[in-house]
Structure 1
Amino acid sequence: MDDLTYWLLFFSTSLAINISPGPDLFYILSRTIACGKNAGMVSSLGVGTGALVHVTAAALGLSAILATSAIAFSIVKYVGAAYLIYLGIQNLRSTGTIPELSAAKTVEVSSWAAFKQGMLVDILNPKAAIFFMAFLPQFIRPEIGGIPLQLLGLGILVILMGFVVEFSFILLAAKITGCLRRNQSISSWLGRTLGSILIALGIRLAFVERT
């Protein structure tokens, strides 16, 4: 495979993966809608940091533990599921009671809280760890050498592409939400929908098998 074909395949696959909706993206959108563009971007940085943890673990071979140990996988899975459900319930409660959602204001949240929650959403998703362990080795070129460094470099590229995709969604969501804030019922409905999706994703994660 020549270099051009290699990179086209890698980046097109990475783009498709990052566009696919999942807990990370829905969490980022929920933060953007409730708290504004800046909170959404900080949440995205937190998610990227969590993904970097998984990439580093894949490069060091630690992700194999989650792939082979039913106990380790189950612990991370159930903690992650509980955390997603918790965030979803928080979203449902806030959108139903905070009148600022109908105005130009946004719910105040610290940058650290948004960053930390985004990081935990990704770290506590065992499928993310297994994904990097399964996906990245397909693009390793043994003739170059330095397989752990290749894994780390490719993983960082996937994360950077994720930022591009997520920031695009954040800007679009912030613009749309700015218009919707004039209508309290629509704004609350949108927030409740995202909260319900987070809860559903948490329940789904709880039933994920180690495959």
Structure 2
Amino acid sequence: MLDSLLAFAGLCVVLAVTPGPDSFIVLRFAVRSGVAASLSAAAGAAIGSLFWAGAAGLGLAALLAGWSIGYTIVRVLGALYLIYLGVRALCARRPVEADTTGIPEHLSWWRAGRTGLLSAMLNPKIGLFFLAVAPQFVQSHADVVATTLLLGCIDAAVAFGWLALVSIGASRMMRWLRRPKVGTHLERASGVALTGLGVATLATH
């Protein structure tokens, strides 16, 4: 059992370091609002991943995968949300408020966490990941729901750990540079990435 959990954790590490919507969202908050907001977004994304693990364990994700219209609806909503975040970053009227003192723009932890949570919950690919991968790590005599939730906790912990490193690293880099224009350019870059991911998701069948 321990070997299976370690193998699953290793797979989660590989997937976590692969750039995705959550990474760009956390990076944007780290650049714009500092480490507290970006950590909240990371926690929200991890909770959203845990939601899909529970849904997969209960069979809801299987139902969604088998119901093509339902999957399409969730996929389109998730893509539109990513495009909304990207366009919002690109069309921001004011630059990142990080003056020579390095003080970022204030953003509530709740708002940042909600953004990360919605991004993960509107990504049905996470549910399909648990449907496809989790059965390989569930032993025949084990409780399927409980084991899937345990795997979800491992995935959430790994994802949060990686996103926290991204958050802290980006925030420290911004404090070291103390250049508002750098933050603005990075936010614009994250906006382009989020918009591109949203468009690519819409184009995916």
CA contact 1:102–1:187 (8 Å) conserved in 2: no
The list of structure 1 runs, each at least 4 consecutive aligned residues, that deviate by more than 3 angstroms after superposition, is none
Q: Which ranges of structure 1 fall in alignment gaps of 5 or more residues?
A: none
The letter for the 2-side match of 1:175 is R
State the identity as a percent: 31
* Cα distance between partner residues in 1 of 2:95 and 2:183: 11
Match of 1:35 in 2: 33
Match of 1:190 in 2: 186
Cα distance, 1:197–1:179 mapped onto 2, change above 3 Å: same
Counterparts of residues 16-35 of structure 1 (less than 5 Å): 16-35=14-33
Which of 89, 102, 118 is matched with 1:91 structurally? 89
Match of 2:135 in 1: 137
Q: Figure out how many residues of one structure are paired with residues of the other and give that number.
A: 204
Q: Which ranges of structure 2 fall in alignment gaps of 5 or more residues?
A: none
The letter for the 2-side match of 1:172 is G
Counterparts of residues 67-82 of structure 1 (less than 5 Å): 67-82=65-80
Match of 1:118 in 2: 116
The letter for the 2-side match of 1:199 is T
Match of 1:107 in 2: 105
Cα distance, 1:119–1:99 mapped onto 2, change above 3 Å: closer
Match of 1:10 in 2: 8
Give the secondary-structure state (helix, strand or coil) at the position aligned to 2:47: helix
* Cα distance between partner residues in 1 of 2:30 and 2:144: 37
The letter for the 2-side match of 1:131 is F
The letter for the 2-side match of 1:197 is A
Match of 1:173 in 2: 170
State TM-score, norm by structure 1: 0.90
| CA-atom RMSD in angstroms | 1.6
* Cα distance between partner residues in 1 of 2:128 and 2:34: 32
